[in-house]
Amino acid sequence: MKSVVDRTAIALAIVGVVGVSGCASYPVPNTKVASSEAAIRAAHETGSRDVPQAALHLKLAEEQLEQGKKLIRDNENERASYVLSRAEADAELALALSRAESSKAKAGTALDNVRAVRSGAPTRN
């Protein structure tokens, strides 16, 4: 009976060591930091701050980027990777919402021009 207990204890010790070393060896997600920063920069450049829904997601992305950097400093790289992925996704959503709003505005202008042409009034650009 004692040998079963000894084997179980040894097995648990090995699993514990492997588990701890696995967590410690997760690489620093530098590429995720860079891609999140790039997505946030792109969202800024397209005017996401001017579209309320896009601005919300841009703000979330910025907060998540900072949280991810803090997690990296705290050596929680795996968790940081997930947070940075969310930051990038929110920034990309902000970018898409901003572009959609811009497209909607351009479509509205084009529709107004079509109506103006049909009625004989001057068009606007």
Residue 75, domain member (yes or no): yes
In a domain, 115, yes or no: yes
Q: Is 15 among the domain residues?
A: no
Whether 59 maps to a domain, the answer reads yes
Q: Which long-range contacts (CB under 8 A, 24 or more apart) does 113-116 make?
A: none
83 inside domain:
yes
Residues spanned by the domain of 66: 27-119
Is 54 part of any domain?
yes
- Supply the CATH number for residue 109's domain: 1.20.1270
Q: What is the pLDDT of residues 21-49, one digit of tens each?
A: 555 579 999 999 999 999 999 999 999 99
pTM of the complete model beyond 0.95: no
Mean pLDDT of 109-124: 78
Number of domains in the chain: 1
The closest alpha carbon to 79, from 23, 21, 36, 40, belongs to 23
Instruction: Inform me whether the pLDDT recorded for 74 exceeds 90.
Output: yes
18 domain-assigned:
no
| Average of per-residue pLDDT across 10-19 | 57
